Chains A and B, each alone.
Chain A
Amino acid sequence: MTTFETVIGLEVHAQLKTKTKIFCSCSTEFGKPPNTNTCEVCLGLPGVLPVLNRKAVEFAIKAGLATHCSIQRKSVFARKNYFYPDLPKGYQISQYELPICLKGYLDIEFDGQKKRVGLTRIHMEEDAGKLNHDFGSSDVSHVDLNRACTPLIEIVSEPDMRGPKEASAYLRRLRDILVYLDICDGNMEEGSFRCDANVSIRPVGQEKFGTRCELKNMNSFRNVERAIEYEVKRQEALILDGGKVVQETRTWNADKGISESMRSKEEANDYRYFPDPDLLPLIVEDAWVEELRKQQPELPVEKSERFAKDYGIPPYDAEVLTADKAVAQHWEEAVKAAQGTEPKKVSNLYMTHLLKLQKDIPETFERITSSIVAEVLKMTEDGQISLGMAKEILDEVAASGKAVKLIVEEKGMVQVSDTGAIEKVVDQVLADNPKNLADFRGGKDKLFGFFVGQTMKALGGKANPKVVNDILMKKLKG
């Protein structure tokens, strides 16, 4: 039986986090009443001229720099012509022959393997409006142009990926980078980070690519993996059955778990691109690029490597902690504030507790500031409270925002380390259990646990276990 190899290329549309649209000064704010973020330009009224947003260009350059692209001195906006009700001008302004960024790459990791995925290009374009099909009468659609003309970058990869896992690893890495750059909020569900996949298969060893299908409508990393898995199986079955893959666009139906062919008119891809006469070529001088290069923040991979090296935490911890920029910053500040606490201990607290807590309580890292983490960890280091108590305190801070001191007082969470007080209790425990004491001294070492338990119980569980052990050890031996 023929074994097939999967070939995947991805096209990502990322919405840029500018305040205004790409060619006009309308707000890009989400969730405004329909058509209120519009003007003559984005409504496509005759006689208006688009004027390019400087910030959008900067963001596109930043994305290019972070993905090792060569930034083009000259790029040209083109019109992509097609008719659809969400496209008021009858064309989308995009870049075609001369995009702003060319030839980059992204290093990804999946299943413990490393791989470099090539980027063909990054170009700038405007988004379309939004169609609402479920409002009012069933034989009409409603058009909201608030999103029309919102700046996008389209990031096109080479067909370098060989499986669904690679594809999602690439997407996650790309999203993390854009979020770190603070140029896109990376929300797949809300559509600010959208992905189309070109998928084909070929017999292993064959150089020529098979016929590809384009998959759309996958609004989560999981759905991208599922859709590609399904598509590969579909194409294999088709070919093994003696059929042929037809080049087409298919939409992923997450509920049914299948991809469905989209009715494609034969001229659907005849966009008749030509340079937009309303926009001059975009010239990006080297000085501008260098200025932006200086502003580039530390990216996830670099940060992760630095955390592992500078703080001596395991690479896995470093990677988890740096996936989210805000968490990474929070952690690093906590390490610095908790002078004297080993970074690995701080990392453990985040990995085993705080990251989970954040899933339940989104305000976790706002309420539990880095200095609170440091304060609580210091209390455990000093033996004032146990690690269990520390976690309990942090849960309470995350839930209520109360001050640590207040929680400690309210819960009476003071760990007794006062040796005098503990000694007294130990003496009492030994006096109350003469038989066990005799048995212990007679060689029944196991009874040590019994004495620890009794002592802790008498102290209401608040004693520092290390101090209790030391005192018991000394006294039991007599």
Chain B
Amino acid sequence: MSTASTNAGARRGMKIDLHVLGPILALVALIGIGIALNSNFLSYGNITNVLARSAFIGIIAVGMTFVITAGGLDLSVGSMAAFIAGLMILCMNLLVPSMGQSLGVILIGIAVALAAGLVAGAINGLLVTRAGIEAFIVTLGTMGIYRSLVTWLADGGTLSLDYGMRELYRPVYYDGILGVSWPIIVFAIVAILGEIVMRHTAFGRHCAAIGSNETVARYSTVAVTRVKTLTYILLGCLVGVAVVMYVPRLGSASASTGLLWELEAIAAVIIGGTVLKGGFGRVWGTVVGVLILSLIGNILNLTDMVSPYLNGAIQGVIIILAVVLQRKGSTAT
């Protein structure tokens, strides 16, 4: 009997650790596998690649963490990113003849992307809160709308940024400070600010309160409508930021831009320990989740171990495993 109880105690202690450390352990395990499989895995180039390509989904996923914590969901972010990228490229191309290939055009392009993100987020938010439609349905609708709009803008083809502008704008993705490229820096800033807002501000606490019980939150004088709308606006703005980093990479947008980004962002949020039903959010967990997803793809590309047909299956297994690890912990505690 005494052995059984000590066992139980020890196991419970481990489970609590798993709940918090689950995603980190999965990340460390992946890094270990990567090192074992390929000596270039830890090279400066590869690490920069993985972090920089994580930045788009990562920046969006930080915003998604707030939406999901407040009990919402946004399926439109991938299409929204494609639409904003298309809009931004069109605006910049239109301005080149009058303003020349100048910094001003880039700044206006960035302003257009951020403003479009804000408006698109506000539309989602207001339809959810004011019109009282389910977030799933609203954003499923806007997902289709934005995807069609970008296809229409591009005439079914690809929108490409003016060649000279592309050269001028290129450093925003490829250059950086002290060898750390801009997308990584922006991702880090967004993640740190997100973590602070989630943990140390009234807005973050209100999100969690609304997500766990909206009625109780309303009785506790939380401005439910306003906070919920703000989460969608915040997410929209962050989609704008992600697009600002995305466009300089290849200087183009098409109907296939941002395909399935919404699901990757949602998966990253859930792997990170945020509860899909809302009520609890963890921004640093989301960052870990994004890195896990990127690393799986990276490692699969660096080896021949698995048939490329099975990449999706491996990703699926790891996503489920990462969540199972922490859910076991959370049910015990």
Bound together: no
Q: Chain B interface (Cβ within 8 Å of chain A)? A: none
